[in-house]
Amino acid sequence: MGRTGIAALVATAAALAVAPSAHALAHATFTASPTAGPIGTTFIFDASGSTGVHYIWDLDGDGDYETDTGPNPSAQKTYTGTGTVIVGLKVVDSDYSSDYTNLPITVLAPTEPPPEQDDVTPPVISNAFITPKAFRLGASSTPLNGHIAKVKRGAKLTWTLSEGANLLIRIQRCSTKKKCNPHVTVKMHRTVAAGTRSLPFSGRVELRKLKPGGYRFVLDATDLSDNFSKTVYVPFIVLPG
């Protein structure tokens, strides 16, 4: 082979030595979703934008790539402690080239629910009335707790409560519509659910018997948060006989 042939071979070998490979080298890149979240959040890492065939992760940020997802370019982890974690990724290509990258995420303290607001809304007594407004005493006695099935003679006190509450029912003697004795003749307690309820009333409470004349019911309600309703008055008359 002459000098010309040898020179041509040397030139070809040199060109091959510096020619770039047709296969791209490994390239590592990934995203985190979310990048910050409280303890218990599942962080998802996506390296689908990388170039490579094998993915190995350092999910706890200690420098050891212990999570091997093989050809799967994604990983996820839930953290139990707060702080910043530098998540690492190693990508290996089919020609065994490799590339590294990392991304910080932040694990926050768990969020606490807002404190419960105190119930400051008082119960409301509405639509309170008695039918009939004038009646004769019945034979049955109304217990002090207000529970009685029915009465053949007497009346029925009806009211509507905005919420469940303890209902205090008092009876006062009245000489006129505007003048009533503040002394309580009878006091009854009931725990009442919300809505419209009624109490059959005979005019007799335990061993007491109302004398003929004018009276009024005085209704007050207290809910579980110790909110007090406005007082409601319902006048009635006990007839003789």
Mean pLDDT of the 20-25 span:
56
Contact by Cβ (8 Å): 158, 197: yes
Residue 23 has pLDDT above 90, yes or no: no
In the numeric block, which tokens belong to residue 54? 């094998």
Predicted pLDDT of residue 177? 65
Contact by Cβ (8 Å): 77, 85: no
Pairing relation of β-strands 74-78 and 204-205? Answer: unpaired
- Residue 169's alpha-carbon distances to 78, 146, 172, in angstroms, are 59, 8, 10
Predicted pLDDT of residue 147? 53
Output the 3-class SS for 189-222: EEEECCEEEEEEECCEECCEECCCEEEEEEEEEE
CA distance 196 to 35: 55
Residue 2 has pLDDT above 60, yes or no: no
Give the model confidence (pLDDT) of 108-136 as tens digits. Answer: 998 888 787 887 899 999 999 999 999 98
Highest-confidence range of 135-149, 188-202, 208-222, by mean pLDDT?
208-222
Between 6 and 90, where is the model more confident?
90
Residue 144 has pLDDT above 70, yes or no: no
- 224 pLDDT band, cuts 50/70/90, is confident
CB-CB neighbours of 11 under 10 Å: 10
CA distance 62 to 174: 85
- Domains, in order of start, for the chain: 24-108 (2.60.40.10), 125-239 (2.60.40.2550)
- Residue 193's alpha-carbon distances to 88, 223, 224, in angstroms, are 61, 10, 12
Predicted pLDDT of residue 24? 62
Between 144 and 11, where is the model more confident?
144
Contact by Cβ (8 Å): 188, 172: no
Please tell me what DSSP assigns to residue 156.
Answer: E
Listed residue (198, 190, 205) closest to 238, CA to CA: 205
Element (H, E) at 42: strand 42-46
Contact by Cβ (8 Å): 218, 170: yes
Give the model confidence (pLDDT) of 48-58 as tens digits. Answer: 999 999 999 99
Contact by Cβ (8 Å): 90, 120: no
- 149 pLDDT band, cuts 50/70/90, is very low
Asked, as a colleague might, if the bond just before 34 is cis with ω within 30 of 0, I would say: yes
